[in-house]
């Protein structure tokens, strides 16, 4: 009973000033002398409820998410939690793009000699790309081969636009990359064949629109490109659509030359000879109308708190937050499922990912509800994690409890499948306090702790670390059921899940009882966000914000001592241009990184509070 406090009592190193022992012990023994020993774990009930058939995999913004949030709210009420101060409800809504579809894009070819129009309206003939702006564009057509530009830094020499003027033109390019090149060449070209990159290359050269066709010699020959999932709330700054072989052939017909066809043009390009130039298509203009319907949905974070029961004077940061994402993949419709073909479309129960973490937060909350608390304890459940930390990022950007009031944030993501007594604790580099605290709490728990300092983890802990909150993430490791329909409640190891709960409860108790909150340490990021592409060898020290919708690259922070910080950039700045390349989004930025050179100063144009500013950033070598 109240083992944490007794332990703390015997530790002289923190000094008496840091402890609130006397009050706590007295009150605890009056209030609920046997609270912990008589509390039966409810993690099995929580996981079973959240990972049930009825909740259908808890996709953000779905009815399953709604049912899951109902459960969490009812449980928060049951353990005595209240809505956060200033909030009237446990639900904290946020908006996001849940899917994209074509709402009626068209292309019309006009013969400039006869003024005859040939409209195409079928989805099999023209379909907007998911990142397209919604607009109309009319212009003469330039065929720009594969539309690939390999950055100079690669010393490869391939630029589909080398001899072309595409300003105010409609650019027609082939999908993919040259088909008959050797493997190594293909490997290089493939890296720059992404549709987003092709669109950026066209936009930066002043094109009005990009049209993409799968050539007769390519996979999916002549077919339009199905709309892909894209969480962006708006377009990427250019009209972009895929067209069928039929539409492309109709443009080439303007040559009136049986030798001048799309097939012939592709053939000349397919050995990847960089000197084959594109050309203007005479006597036609094209009008492209794009209509991408972005289905906006509302997701819901759920949060409540247990007020401090023994408010102590002198506590510098009066809050501790615990969090876990409760959303999962639904039926796997957003492309992040790892289901085998036979299991496609089935419910992804997400028992370990992350009904287990949600259960842990509830269970730690329930344990703390019957103990003296010197700090308020926030219990949070994020949605939209599986779509890119959308819920926790929305929260951190508009926190209900000011983030500088948080002594610590503890995150739980996949804590139900412990193997060989191993518990991974991540983000420990976020505070020098964690090492000793974990060690002490583990005396009773006896885990084989795997400590990872890196806070830049693919889970909500990253959102809080970027907000400078000392954070931890608990994780029992991945497994073969990860992101598959087979991640079910019967596979959870409840005994060990309960041990994780006890361990975390001890840590919450210790942080709660120490006057001095853990101090935050900024960890150097070794792998830069948003540059997962192979071959990015330079380091700028920016931390992009992926979830907030802006034109440009919004920084959610900069890495301490990194080039961006040295350039004077800071959290909240929006980079709109780097080294002469306009930046409309994270993709542009990622590609722009390839143009930069290590040690060579580059001009950065950015917006700070709406004002346009300039800085000089000198990229460093990646370690």
Question: Does residue 545 belong to the site contacting Zn ion (CB under 5 A)?
Answer: no
CB-facing half-sphere around the CA of 42: CA atoms within 13 A: 20
Using an 8 Å Cβ cutoff, are 602 and 596 in contact?
A: yes
Shortest distance (Å) from residue 455 CB to Zn ion = 18
Binding mask 275-304 for Zn ion (x = CB under 5 A): ------------------------------
Pure H helices in 398-493 = 434-445, 461-466
Phi then psi for 434, rounded to 5 degrees?
-65, -40
Asked if residue 327 binds Zn ion (CB under 5 A), the reply is no
Q: How far is the CB of 111 from Zn ion (least distance, A)?
A: 53
Residue from 56, 270, 327, 353 touching Zn ion (CB under 5 A): that is 353
Minimum CB separation from Zn ion for residue 388, in Å?
11
Q: Does 352 bind Zn ion (CB under 5 A)?
A: no
332 vs 541, beta carbon nearer Zn ion: 332
Give whichever of 386 and 454 is closer to Zn ion, judged by the CB atom: 386
C-alpha distances in Å from residue 288, one per residue of 136, 152, 202, 253: 6, 32, 15, 18
Separation between Cα atoms, residue 522 and residue 509, nearest integer Å: 24
Q: Which is nearer to Zn ion, 367 or 387 (CB)?
A: 387
Q: Which is nearer to Zn ion, 59 or 109 (CB)?
A: 59
Residue nearer to Zn ion on the CB measure, 454 or 487: 487
When the beta carbons of 283 and 334 are compared against Zn ion, the nearer one is 334
Select the span of 284-292, 346-354, 376-384, 600-608 touching Zn ion (CB under 5 A). 346-354
Phi and psi, residue 360, nearest 5°: -65, -45
Stretch that binds Zn ion, among 209-217, 294-302, 303-311, 350-358 (CB under 5 A): 350-358
Q: How far is the CB of 68 from Zn ion (least distance, A)?
A: 15
Cite the DSSP H helix spans in 539-599: 563-566, 586-595
DSSP type of residue 181: S
3-state DSSP assignment of residue 189: helix
Question: Pattern 162-181, binding to Zn ion, x per CB under 5 A?
Answer: --------------------
> Which single residue brings its beta carbon nearest to Zn ion?
353
CB of 197 to Zn ion, least distance (A): 27
Quick check: 413 binds Zn ion (CB under 5 A)?
Answer: no
How far apart CA 375 and CA 601 sit, in angstroms, is 47
Backbone phi, psi, residue 88, to 5°? -95, -10
Among the listed residues 200, 135, 130, the one whose alpha carbon sits nearest the alpha carbon of residue 171: 200
Question: In terms of DSSP bridges, do strands 319-325 and 376-382 run parallel, antiparallel, or are they unpaired?
Answer: parallel
Phi, psi angles (nearest 5°) of residue 87 = -100, 145
Shortest approach of Zn ion to residue 148 CB, angstroms?
Answer: 33
The smaller minimum CB distance to Zn ion, of residues 204 and 459, is found at 459
Least Å distance, CB 523 to Zn ion, is 23
3-class secondary-structure state, position 447:
coil
163 or 419: CB nearest Zn ion: 419
Identity of the residue, 353 or 496, whose beta carbon is nearer to Zn ion in the bound complex: 353
* Exposure string for 279-291, b = 16+ CB within 10 A, e = fewer: eebebbbbbbbbb
C-beta of 327 vs 577, nearer to Zn ion: 327
Q: How many CB atoms lie within 10 A of CB 605?
A: 17
46-54, 67-75, 149-157, 351-359 -> range binding Zn ion (CB under 5 A): 351-359
Q: Within 13 Å, how many C-alpha atoms sit on residue 476's CB side?
A: 27
Question: Which residue spans within 24-168 are E strands per DSSP?
Answer: 82-83, 91-102, 106-111, 117-120, 126-128, 136-143
Q: Do residues 118 and 112 touch, judged by C-beta distance below 8 A?
A: no
Q: Which stretch binds Zn ion (CB under 5 A): 126-134, 178-186, 348-356, 532-540?
A: 348-356
Least distance to Zn ion, CB of residue 350, Å: 7
| Residue among 313, 308, 312 nearest 373 (CA) | 308
CB of 36 to Zn ion, least distance (A): 31
CB of 483 to Zn ion, least distance (A): 6
Q: Does 481 bind Zn ion (CB under 5 A)?
A: no
**Shorter beta-carbon distance to Zn ion: residue 236 or 354:** 354
Q: How far is CA 188 from the centre of its chain?
A: 26
**Which residues of the chain form contacts with Zn ion (CB under 5 A)?**
353
């Amino acid at each position: 009973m109240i083992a944490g406090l007794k332990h703390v009592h015997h530790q002289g190193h923190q000094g008496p000033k840091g402890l609130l022992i006397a009050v706590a012990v007295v009150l605890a023994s009056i209030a609920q002398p046997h609270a912990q020993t008589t509390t039966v774990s409810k993690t099995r009930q929580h996981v079973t409820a959240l990972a049930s058939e009825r909740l259908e995999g808890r996709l953000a913004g779905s009815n399953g998410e709604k049912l899951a949030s109902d459960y969490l709210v009812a449980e928060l009420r049951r353990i005595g939690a209240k809505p956060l101060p200033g909030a009237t409800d446990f639900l904290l809504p946020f908006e996001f793009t849940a899917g994209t579809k074509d709402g009626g894009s068209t292309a019309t070819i006009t013969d400039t000699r006869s003024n005859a129009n040939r409209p195409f309206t079928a989805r099999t003939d023209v379909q907007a790309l998911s990142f397209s702006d919604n607009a109309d564009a009319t212009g003469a057509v330039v065929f720009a081969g594969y539309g690939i530009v390999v950055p100079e830094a690669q010393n490869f020499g391939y630029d589909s636009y080398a001899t072309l003027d595409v300003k105010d033109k409609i650019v027609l390019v082939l999908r993919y990359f040259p088909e008959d090149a050797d493997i190594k060449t293909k490997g290089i070209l493939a890296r720059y064949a992404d549709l987003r990159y092709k669109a950026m290359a066209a936009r930066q050269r002043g094109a009005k629109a990009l049209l993409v066709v799968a050539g007769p010699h390519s996979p999916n020959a002549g077919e339009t490109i199905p709309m892909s999932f894209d969480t962006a709330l708006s377009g990427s700054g250019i009209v972009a659509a895929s067209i069928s072989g039929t539409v492309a052939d109709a443009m080439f017909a303007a040559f009136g030359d049986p030798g001048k066809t799309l097939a012939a043009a592709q053939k000349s390009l397919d050995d990847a000879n960089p000197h084959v130039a594109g050309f203007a298509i005479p006597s036609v203009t094209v009008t492209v109308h794009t209509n991408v319907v972005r289905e906006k949905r509302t997701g819901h974070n759920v949060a409540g708190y247990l007020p401090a029961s023994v408010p102590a004077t002198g506590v510098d940061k009066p809050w501790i937050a615990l969090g876990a994402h409760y959303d999962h993949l639904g039926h796997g419709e957003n492309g992040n499922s790892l289901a085998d073909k036979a299991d496609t479309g089935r419910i992804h129960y997400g028992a370990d990912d992350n009904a287990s973490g949600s259960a842990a937060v509830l269970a730690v909350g329930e344990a703390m509800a019957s103990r003296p608390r010197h700090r308020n304890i926030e219990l949070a459940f994020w949605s939209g994690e599986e779509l890119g930390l959308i819920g926790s990022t929305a929260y951190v950007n508009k926190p209900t409890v000011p983030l500088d009031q948080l002594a610590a944030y503890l995150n739980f993501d996949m804590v139900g499948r412990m193997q060989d007594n191993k518990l991974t604790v991540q983000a420990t580099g976020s505070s020098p306090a964690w090492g000793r605290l974990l060690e002490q709490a583990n005396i009773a728990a006896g885990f084989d702790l795997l400590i990872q300092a890196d806070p830049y983890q693919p889970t909500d802990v990253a959102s809080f670390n970027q907000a400078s909150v000392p954070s931890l993430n608990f994780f029992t490791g991945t497994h073969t059921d990860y992101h598959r329909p087979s991640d079910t409640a019967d596979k959870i190891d409840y005994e060990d899940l309960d041990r994780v709960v006890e361990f975390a409860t001890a840590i919450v108790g210790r942080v709660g009882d120490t006057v001095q909150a853990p101090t935050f340490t900024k960890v150097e990021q070794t792998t830069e966000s948003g540059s997962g592409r192979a071959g990015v060898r330079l380091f700028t020290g920016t931390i992009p914000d992926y979830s907030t919708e802006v034109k440009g690259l919004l920084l959610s922070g900069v890495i301490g001592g990194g080039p961006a910080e040295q350039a004077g950039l800071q959290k909240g700045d929006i980079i709109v241009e780097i080294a002469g390349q306009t930046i409309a989004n994270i993709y542009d930025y990622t590609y722009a990184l390839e143009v930069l050179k290590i040690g060579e100063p580059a001009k950065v144009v950015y917006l700070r509070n709406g004002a346009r500013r300039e800085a000089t950033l000198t990229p460093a070598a990646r370690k």
